[in-house]
Amino acid sequence: TPFVKPPLLNYPATLINHITLPPFSEQIVEAKVQHNNMIDVLFEPNPRLKNKALFIASALLNIENRRIIISIINATNRQQTLSEGTKLGIATQISSTIGVTIPSDQLEERIPTGKACTVLIPKGKEANTSDKLNSKNMPITTSHEQQHQCRK
């Protein structure tokens, strides 16, 4: 078949410990995410908690040992209890890299013509050059052979 079923990238985030939230309070809790290989995720709260006036922000989070740390707000005038295993939301794997391949026969130089962009940037002062590591400890290097400086 021409279609490939995409891998499941959404995983439930469930409460690790039983908690009781006092009225009008905020508490930081730990939730577990089952998938092993995720590092960075987009967390989106369970909409059912909003119906109970329990609020959790959507957030970009880092997973350590299959755990994430999130903050819950109880906006009611009574205490609320959540049991261990309560689904707090969904963790969606986010890609840390994007790869694009462009055939060389379709490349066009996009440097404006005219006096404003005639100066080449001197070697050693190239823009967009980085030897940092991304979240998976892979080197990130972006450089271009000729870079122009437009307007002084």
Residue 101 lies in a domain: no
Q: What is the pLDDT of residue 31?
A: 96
pLDDT tens digits for range 63-81: 989 999 999 999 999 999 9
Same structural domain for residues 22 and 79? Answer: yes
Residue 72 lies in a domain: yes
Return the CATH number at 75.
Answer: 2.70.40.10
**Rounded-to-integer distance, Cα 5 and Cα 8, Å:** 9
Mean pLDDT of 15-21: 96
Residue 98 lies in a domain: no
Rounded to two decimals, the pTM is: 0.58
Place of tokens 């963790």: 91
CA nearest to 135, candidates 41, 21, 3: 41
- Judged against a pLDDT cut of 50, whether residue 152 lies above it is answered with no
Residues in a beta bridge with 31: 15, 68
The percentage of the chain sitting over the pLDDT mark of 90, rounded to a whole number, equals: 45
Same structural domain for residues 15 and 43? Answer: yes
